[in-house]
A and B are shown apart, each in its own frame.
Chain A
Amino acid sequence: DAKTTQPTSMDCAEGRAANLPCNHSTISGNEYVYWYRQIHSQGPQYIIHGLKNNETNEMASLIITEDRKSSTLILPHATLRDTAVYYCIVRVAGSQGNLIFGKGTKLSVKP
């Protein structure tokens, strides 16, 4: 079973920041938080991952709380093309194992 909890759906206005929360209260010390998204009818796409420090790349920012029990993915200026299902996954970095997906959060960006 997935080790994360996410809201089923969220709306965001185009051009505004989208903040997607994720709870992972049972995360282990060597587990990273990964975010993927899946645009309709496409395969999942890697977004970002982090251990305990905040991370930023060209797609998004990841904010992890100090106790590591929750995190937030931030899309700073959401566009209509960011409409997708966003998955938060915890796993040991570099592990050989598969990803365990939950149902994710359906983000709808509206004009």
Chain B
Amino acid sequence: DTGVSQDPRHKITKRGQNVTFRCDPISEHNRLYWYRQTLGQGPEFLTYFQNEAQLEKSRLLSDRFSAERPKGSFSTLEIQRTEQGDSAMYLCASSYGGQSGEQYFGPGTRLTVT
């Protein structure tokens, strides 16, 4: 078990392009979370999956954002028609969902929109 992994680690794109990020959670974890973090701020929640079901979405998740977890394993986060305001670190976390419920984070994908 190598923990939560994310790909790519860095992405530079031009405004208006679409981007897709991937997250591979810890294998036995059934819960998967996406967060966004801008400079100087703590991570902000975007969306959450339990197995393949997307159970919660933040109002930060505009209609240009879509997330999937098709087989309850890895997840993808797609941003369509990127804007400069989308530049941020996108973090993925997973958890087992037991009593303690701590979340384990990946290293993040840093997106720069030029």
Contact = CB atoms under 8 A, between A and B. Distances in A.
B54 interface: no
Nearest to B41: A103
Interface in B57-101: 58, 91, 93, 97-101
B107 A98 contact: no
A80 interface: no
Interface residues of A, number: 23
Contacts of A104: 42
Interface stretch (A14-22, A67-75, A89-97): A89-97
B43 A96 contact: no
Given A49-B102, A99-B45, A42 B107 contact: yes
Given A93-B101, A94-B99, A94-B100, A43 B50 contact: no
Interface bin, chain B: 20 to 34
Contact of B103 (A42, A99, A103): A99
Interface of B: 4, 31, 33, 35, 40-45, 48, 50, 55-56, 58, 91, 93, 97-108
14 contacts: A2-B42, A34-B102, A43-B4, A44-B43, A46-B103, A49-B100, A93-B100, A94-B97, A96-B50, A97-B48, A98-B35, A98-B48, A98-B56, A103-B40
The list of the 3 closest CB pairs from A to B, nearest first, reads: A101-B42, A43-B105, A98-B45
Interface of A: 2, 34, 42-46, 49, 85, 87, 91, 93-104
